[in-house]
Amino acid sequence: MHKHPSLPVHFLSPVLPPFLSPPASPVSTAPHHSAAAMPTVSVKWQKEVFPGIEIDTSQPPLVFKSQLYTLTGVPPERQKIMVKGGILKDDADWSTLGVKDGQKLMMIGTADEIVKAPEKGPVFVEDLPEEEQVVALGHSAGLYNLGNTCYMNSTLQCLHSVPELKSALLSYSDTARGNGIDQASHNLTLATRNTFGELDQSVRPIAPLQFLQFFFKSDSEQTLRKKYPQFAQQHNNVYMQQDAEECWTQLVYTLSQTLTSDASESAVLSMKQLFGIDLVSRVHCAETGEESMETESVYSLKCHISQDVNHLHEGLKHVLDCPVCSFLLEKGIKPKGKDFTMFYCQKVDYPLELDVYEFCSDELKQKLQAPRQMLRDAENAKFGLKTQGKASSSKENEGSSSNTGESSSMDIDKGKWFVLTGFKLILLVCVLNAADPSVPKKQLTGVYDLVAVLTHKGRSADSGHYVGWVKQDDGKWIEYDDDNPNIRKEEDILKLSGGGDWHMAYICMYKARMAESKS
């Protein structure tokens, strides 16, 4: 076989015409960065020196500043690094700065405060002590239903919202029984004090056993059952549902007898100072023309409700202006021969802000004019409006002329809280603070804000279900449905005006809006 000698093989690129030849690559004029182009420098900051810091000259100086931030904690915007020509800028060209390997740079700047790890980890509300849980929760605990006792629970929750009443109860000692106070009333007052204390210190529902025991039962000859026998009624050995208004009335009356200056500290206001309303009635004899004035003090106003009454003001005016005035009209009617109260289911609106100026006597209207003007000026200043001075009070002066047609008027100068019942209205008035010269003197204005509503759901006062709705200091409302408190909105409260089988306002409690005297 003939073998050819091996020859080298050459792969020749085809020769292309100039117009098909690819364009020549441009010659880069940028400097070539090699390992030698990353100088290592040291940086002096305050009393510290940070050696061996490499500078990547292919990156802007902001990257170098970020390196220093991780070492010193000085943010880039606060760093002032001295280089050739002045202070290093974020967009400077390294090639013009002449930074050399081993060079020592100086930096000025204030470091951020070092974020310390929290000393304590996150704490859940469930892990807090019970007294701290009460503060975190924002409202008091609920009350267990001990068998048809929702009437009692709702009453206690509404009255528990009165801070002045709680102060009076706290000052009532175990040995404070005064002259003429029976043991049963004394025990009931102590039970109320202790129940309020438990509500303030617990986040879990409590069972008001002590209060229930002393309310209608006593170990000594069942004194309280004799005093309030209606609350001990039973059916098939089960205690029956009762009227919350009767419970409210009996409890307030008992506390008015025990919480006096003799039994508690003199600085504590009495129940009459808190809830008292003076009613002045003019009795006129049509035949002889003789007239007489009668004054009585009550702890609540009964609002008469008929088919023609659609608002709280109308019911109050009907009671106070009627020729033959009765202050015992209920929201319901009691048919003859029956021992229960039937309820009207018509809708009767009530305001969040109640102004009782038109129901006051002429003398009291004169006293209220100056505080009412101060209140208006304060509210106008709060919203950046101009004060009206004495001009607006003239309109109230016109309305304060002698009203010969009125048969009754109201004197709220002594009350602090205003209560409407049956629809029953309860006016709740603040402390005057007149005894403490360091506290600005506060005066009544005749304007009251709704702070609690006791509602009933059902067709009879002695059946159905009672619930308390209480306004908190932060403005939110809490629905106390026995042992289940729920947060509610203000618009939910306005829906309690009746008109169906939903909750219907039965007792409304208002707190006085006071005016601070500058003198």
Active-site annotation holder among 10, 139, 150, 160: 150
Rounded to the nearest integer, the mean pLDDT of the chain is 75
Query: What count of other Cβ atoms lies within 10 Å of the Cβ of residue 395?
Result: 9
Sorted by where each starts, the structural domains of the chain and their CATH numbers stand as: 40-108 (3.10.20.90), 272-340+358-370 (no CATH)
Query: What count of other Cβ atoms lies within 10 Å of the Cβ of residue 296?
Result: 11
Burial of residue 445 (CB within 10 Å: 0-12, 13-18, 19+) is: buried
Q: Which of 157-161, 234-238, 343-347, 432-436 has the lowest mean pLDDT?
A: 432-436
The tokens of 508 are what? 């409304």
What is the three-class DSSP state of 38?
coil
Q: Which of 86-100, 182-196, 269-283 has the lowest mean pLDDT?
A: 269-283
Section 432-439 average pLDDT = 39
Q: Is 235 part of the annotated catalytic residue set?
A: no
Residue 74 has pLDDT above 50, yes or no: yes
Q: Which of 38-42, 271-275, 352-356 has the lowest mean pLDDT?
A: 271-275
Closest-CA residue to 59 (of 92, 27, 29, 32): 92
Q: Is the model more confident about 123 or about 337?
A: 123
Give me the residues paired with residue 442 across strands. 516
Burial of residue 355 (CB within 10 Å: 0-12, 13-18, 19+) is: middle
Q: Phi then psi for 317, rounded to 5 degrees? A: -65, -35
Closest-CA residue to 454 (of 483, 428, 425): 425
Give the integer Cα–Cα distance in Å for 69 and 92: 18
Share of the chain above pLDDT 70, in %: 68
What's the pLDDT band for 194 if we cut at 50, 70, 90?
A: very high
Q: Is 430 part of the annotated catalytic residue set?
A: no
Residue with tokens 């006071």: 514
Residue 489 has pLDDT above 80, yes or no: yes
Section 371-375 average pLDDT = 89
